[in-house]
Amino acid sequence: MSNAMFAMLIIGVSLLSLVFAFVRSRWIAKQDAGNEQMQRIAKYIAEGALSFLKAEYKVLSIFVVVIAVLLAISADPEKSHAVIGLAFVIGAALSALAGFIGMKVATKANVRTTNAARVSLAKTFDISFTGGSVMGISVAALGVLGLTLLFVLFQNFFNADGTHIHKVLEILTGFSLGAESIALFARVGGGIFTKAADVGADLVGKVEAGIPEDDPRNPAVIADNVGDNVGDVAGMGADLFGSYVSTILATMVLGATVSVKDELGGLSLVILPIALAALGLVFSIVGSFFVRISENGNPQRALNTGNFIAIVLTIVASSFLINFLLPETFSIGNSTYPSFNIFIAVIIGLTVGFLMSIITEYYCAMGKKPVESIIAQSMSGPATNVIAGLSVGMLSTVLPVIVLAFGIVGAYEVAGIYGVAIAASGMMATTAIQLAIDAFGPIADNAGGIAEMAALPKEVRERTDILDSVGNTTAAIGKGFAIASAALTSLSLFAAFMTITNITVIDISNARVLAGLFIGGMIPFLFSALAIQAVGRAANSMVEEVRRQFKSIPGLLEGKPGVEPDYEKCITISTKAAINQMILPGAIALLAPVIIGFTAGPEVLGGALAGITVCGVLMAIFQSNAGGAWDNAKKSFEKGVIINGEKFFKGSNPHKATVIGDTVGDPFKDTSGPSMNILIKLTSIVSLIIAGMIS
């Protein structure tokens, strides 16, 4: 099979997947959206989310144009081309589109999920997961489609004679940079928006006023539900799109350095990660059909079943794909490996991803020992709750790092540095179903908010809360999955950076390199501090506004009929804060490698990248898991918890302590934590782009 025919097959798979996602989205739109009050609330949420995205994308469009022009002007004609600016624009546009699709589907699915919860848990789960699957499939299909089309186009223009594959991949790096840049701003901006609203709503509503979560009297509740869509859905969609693209591209770059004699002009290891992604996309769709529950079924088990089926089918099919594409052996430097070892590396990658999911579930899920320990400590008040949550977050880094370490060493032993890269591609192959599992949570969360605001019967909220609590765990699992892939991908990008700059070893006995290592290690802490401070400042403004409305609007807090808060004011506060505060953290991620590289040289930049990667991975795991555990400790009180033989429910003092802990954890798990994996990859991609200029 020729390169062109193989590319057409992959493009066909991605296009058919997009058609499938469109059909599923139409099915969601045909479901009953409930009564007029439910639809009115859903409209508030949808319009608020769309308003934020318009404001955010307006600012980002200026950034995209400026960076695209700079990339085009600075491109070295020997190693790159001015068209890298166009690749950057396309990557940014598709990343933004991925987030937009997710947001649009989620705002349609949330109210329909609420209405389904009036009837049955099974129907509720079906609609919310279908909404998540539309986003997951769309993100993966757009990634495969964009990469394949641009690769074929650049191959025809710049590598017709087969001697300029590195130039093609250098230009294609612009696509990945565009995707990751938008992902970073979308994650940070969306995270600031949602957590400012969430913290403000919780502190004044639940803690001070003692009213329920999502009570319509609270002015911040609409902004909070809007935040679920712009942060946990649109931001997450852009995030996973960037991760997906970066992982595939890193493997392609390293594949071009490998000597292999095949029927594809020596490009089989370059094409393999795209083909593997297409394969995982197909089996993610297959796995989604197995995500079903009975009326009293276990949603977490159903999600795990679909994920497991997708992984197993991808493993089996990848063995045939590798056997079809590759010759018996390939060479990296002076080492020769059997091609079967590539299959082993793929298994290692998928296994690492699966183990990371299990470990994350243990540390964040309700009923597990870590969350129970936080609940027990809440008896003594907010301080001990916070101490317990911090310790759980720190402890949760141990097993994931050990798994990552064994995965890296194992993949390297069987197939060199390309083995590490293809292991990351294997892990990301089933991104479509991983993201579907992740995205269903915010939809269920929104559905519960609509149920509360529309004053629906208690059993409706109970059904949505069952899914919401599972969604908290799946969100943490999704973040753990993204962090693991970021670690492996960054190592691959780091290896490509060293190859281009002709660095054979990073010598930390060199004082300048050691200084770079420390500076790099500091950057994730600085980035996290800025993101958390932004949430704190925005939340303070939100708290003051909610308090003002409770005091100045007669009858609001008492729930007088016909009296409504000014929801729009709170949405405006979160929007302005998110847009203004997302710029500095994003600038640090983009400019730090440029400043270090051009002022101190490639060796020092290599040390900085090592520091960013190690500290970034640890900070990401710690923050995401601590926040997830705090959140589920709080949610455990909805059914009641037993502490020292006494049962406590919502509104009790231990519950109020967990609300404080959850408030502390909110920016950890939804703003700074998940942004770490983008920071790690983005700094590596920028370093790879400038590598030829500083070597």
**pLDDT single digits (tens) 80-122:** 889 999 999 999 999 999 889 988 999 999 999 999 999 899 9
pLDDT greater than 60 at residue 220: yes
Contact 547, 553 (CB under 8 A): no
Question: What's the confidence (pLDDT) of residue 275?
Answer: 93
Cα separation, 478 vs 462, in Å, equals 24
**Lowest-pLDDT range, 184-193, 422-431, 526-535, 678-687?**
184-193
- When pLDDT is averaged across residues 510-523 and rounded to a whole number, the result is 95
Give the closest residue to 234 by CA, choosing from 104, 142, 147. 104
Cα separation, 309 vs 299, in Å, equals 16
- Beta-carbon contacts of 140 under 8 Å, excluding residues fewer than 6 positions away, are 17, 244, 277, 280, 281, 284, 431, 432, 435
Instruction: Phi first, then psi: give them for residue 659, nearest 5 degrees.
Output: -65, -40
Question: What's the confidence (pLDDT) of residue 55?
Answer: 87
CA dist list (Å): 19 to 6, 70, 106, 285: 20, 36, 18, 12
C-alpha torsion 175→180→185→190, nearest 10: 120
Question: What's the confidence (pLDDT) of residue 238?
Answer: 85
Instruction: Phi first, then psi: give them for residue 334, nearest 5 degrees.
Output: -95, 5
| pLDDT category of residue 30 using cuts at 50, 70 and 90 | very high
Q: In this predicted model, what pLDDT tens digit does every residue of 314-334 receive, in sequence order?
A: 999 999 999 888 888 888 877
Looking at the chain, the whole-number percentage of residues with pLDDT higher than 90 is: 39
Cα–Cα–Cα angle for 71, 73, 79, nearest 5°? 75
Cα separation, 82 vs 163, in Å, equals 19
- When pLDDT is averaged across residues 564-575 and rounded to a whole number, the result is 85
Question: What's the confidence (pLDDT) of residue 481?
Answer: 76
Contact 644, 554 (CB under 8 A): no
Tell me the Cα Rg of the chain: 24
3-state secondary structure of 426: helix
Question: What's the confidence (pLDDT) of residue 383?
Answer: 94
Q: Give the mean pLDDT of the chain.
A: 88
Q: What is the 3-state secondary structure (H, E, C) of 157-209?
A: HHCCCCCCHHHHHHHHHHHHHHHHHHHHHHHHHHHHHHHHHHHHHHHHHHHHH
Question: What's the confidence (pLDDT) of residue 79?
Answer: 81
Q: Diameter of the chain by CA atoms?
A: 79
pLDDT greater than 80 at residue 4: no
Q: In this predicted model, what pLDDT tens digit does every residue of 437-470 receive, in sequence order?
A: 888 888 988 888 898 888 888 888 888 888 887 8
- Beta-carbon contacts of 160 under 8 Å, excluding residues fewer than 6 positions away, are none
Give the closest residue to 137 by CA, choosing from 337, 333, 282, 309. 282
Give the closest residue to 80 by CA, choosing from 159, 160, 179. 159
Contact 543, 582 (CB under 8 A): no
Question: What's the confidence (pLDDT) of residue 597?
Answer: 93
Contact 563, 555 (CB under 8 A): yes
Question: What's the confidence (pLDDT) of residue 392?
Answer: 96
Helix axes 36-74, 165-201, angle to 10 degrees: 140
Residue entry with tokens 């194992």: 410
- Beta-carbon contacts of 439 under 8 Å, excluding residues fewer than 6 positions away, are 102, 106, 131, 132, 135, 136, 232, 233, 236, 237
Looking at the chain, the whole-number percentage of residues with pLDDT higher than 70 is: 99
Question: What's the confidence (pLDDT) of residue 3?
Answer: 65
pLDDT greater than 70 at residue 194: yes
Element (H, E) at 558: none
Question: What's the confidence (pLDDT) of residue 398?
Answer: 96
| pLDDT category of residue 204 using cuts at 50, 70 and 90 | confident
3-state secondary structure of 329: strand
Write out the two tokens for 270: 């370059």
Cα separation, 278 vs 9, in Å, equals 9
Instruction: Phi first, then psi: give them for residue 338, nearest 5 degrees.
Output: -70, 145
| pLDDT category of residue 661 using cuts at 50, 70 and 90 | very high
Question: What's the confidence (pLDDT) of residue 468?
Answer: 81
CA torsion sign for 684, 688, 691, 693 is: negative
pLDDT greater than 80 at residue 129: yes
Buried/exposed code over 208-221 (b: 16+ C-beta within 10 A; e: otherwise): ebebebbbbbbbbb
Contact 625, 476 (CB under 8 A): yes
Contact 420, 337 (CB under 8 A): no
Q: In this predicted model, what pLDDT tens digit does every residue of 247-295 receive, in sequence order?
A: 899 899 888 888 777 777 778 888 999 999 999 999 999 999 999 888 8
Question: What's the confidence (pLDDT) of residue 651?
Answer: 81
Question: What's the confidence (pLDDT) of residue 280?
Answer: 94
Q: What residue type is assigned to position 74 of the chain? A: S
- Pick 668 or 482 by higher pLDDT: 668
Q: What is the 3-state secondary structure (H, E, C) of 278-302?
A: HHHHHHHHHHHCCCCCCCCCCHHHH
Question: What's the confidence (pLDDT) of residue 116?
Answer: 92
H helix intervals, 553-671: 567-581, 583-600, 602-635, 653-667
| pLDDT category of residue 399 using cuts at 50, 70 and 90 | very high
Residue 570 burial (CB < 10 Å; 0-12/13-18/19+)? Answer: buried
Q: How many CA atoms lie within 13 A of 656 on its CB side?
A: 14
User: Best-predicted range by mean pLDDT among 154-163, 349-358, 404-413, 683-692?
Assistant: 404-413
Residue entry with tokens 């609409």: 222
Contact 162, 265 (CB under 8 A): yes
Give the closest residue to 640 by CA, choosing from 626, 654, 627. 654
pLDDT greater than 80 at residue 207: no
Question: What's the confidence (pLDDT) of residue 297?
Answer: 82
Cα separation, 231 vs 685, in Å, equals 24
Cα separation, 471 vs 463, in Å, equals 13
Cα separation, 286 vs 67, in Å, equals 39
Q: How many CA atoms lie within 13 A of 157 on its CB side?
A: 16
- Categorise residue 455: left if φ over 0, alpha if ψ from -120 to 50, beta otherwise: left
Contact 622, 674 (CB under 8 A): no
Q: What residue type is assigned to position 566 of the chain? A: D
**Lowest-pLDDT range, 160-174, 208-222, 427-441?**
208-222
Q: In this predicted model, what pLDDT tens digit does every residue of 362-379 receive, in sequence order?
A: 998 888 999 999 999 999
pLDDT greater than 70 at residue 1: no
Q: Tell me how crowded residue 2 is: count the other CB atoms within 10 A of its CB.
A: 10
